[in-house]
C-alpha cells in the first residue's frame, strides 16, 4: 500500500503562485470591471496568465472514477495553473456553497491540494477564496 506523501507548507499554500494568479485576476477585473459573462473573463484571464508567464492549461479534462472505473464524463475546471492549482472562475453576485462544492469536487478529481475560486460578478470588488483539500 502506498503511503500518503506529506506536503510542505510551501507546497500546500503555494503563496507565490497564488499571488501571481490572484494578481492576474485583479488586473482583469481592473480593466474589464464587472458585468461580463464568465466566458469573457476566462478568455481575458488566459491572456493575462500567459502574459505573466504562469504555466496554464485552460479547461483541462479531469477524469472521474467510480469504484475503480473511469467514467466517460470529465470535470473541466477553467484552469489548471502550475500543474497543481485548480482555478475556477465565476461571474455571479456572490460565491456560495454550490460553487465551493464544485471546486472541492475538482480538487478531489484532480488529486490537487489547492484551488482558487475567483468571482468577477460582484459589483463591489473582485472576490476570491483559496481552498486546501
Q: What are phi and psi of 112, to 5 degrees?
A: -85, 155
Instruction: Report the sign of the C-alpha dihedral through residues 47, 79, 93, 37, in that order.
Output: positive
Give me the mean pLDDT over the 27-50 stretch.
97
Percentage of the chain surpassing pLDDT 70? 90
CB 89 within 8 A of CB 41: yes
pLDDT, tens digit, for every residue of 100-122? 999 999 999 888 999 999 999 98
86 pLDDT band (50/70/90 cuts)?
very high
Instruction: List domains and CATH numbers for the chain.
Output: 14-132 (3.90.320.10)
Edge to edge, the sheet with strand 85-90 lists 56-58, 79-81, 85-90, 114-119, 127-132
Distance CA(104)–CA(88), nearest Å, equals 10
14 pLDDT band (50/70/90 cuts)?
confident
Cα 100 from chain centre: 11
CB 130 within 8 A of CB 103: no
Distance CA(25)–CA(18), nearest Å, equals 11
pLDDT at 7 over 80: no
27 pLDDT band (50/70/90 cuts)?
very high
CB 115 within 8 A of CB 103: yes
Amino acid at each position: 500500500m502506498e503511503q500518503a506523501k506529506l506536503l510542505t507548507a510551501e507546497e500546500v499554500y503555494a503563496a507565490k503562485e497564488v499571488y501571481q494568479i490572484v494578481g492576474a485576476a485583479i488586473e482583469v477585473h481592473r480593466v474589464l470591471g464587472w458585468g461580463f459573462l464568465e466566458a469573457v473573463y476566462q478568455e481575458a484571464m488566459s491572456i493575462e496568465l500567459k502574459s505573466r508567464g504562469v504555466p496554464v492549461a485552460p479547461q483541462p479534462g479531469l477524469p472521474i472514477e467510480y469504484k475503480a472505473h473511469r467514467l466517460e464524463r470529465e470535470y473541466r475546471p477553467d484552469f489548471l495553473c502550475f500543474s497543481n492549482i485548480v482555478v475556477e472562475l465565476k461571474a455571479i453576485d456572490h460565491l456560495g456553497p454550490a460553487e465551493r462544492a464544485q471546486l472541492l469536487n475538482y480538487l478531489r478529481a484532480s488529486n490537487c491540494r489547492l484551488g482558487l475560486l475567483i468571482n468577477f460578478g460582484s459589483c463591489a470588488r473582485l472576490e476570491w477564496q483559496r481552498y486546501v483539500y
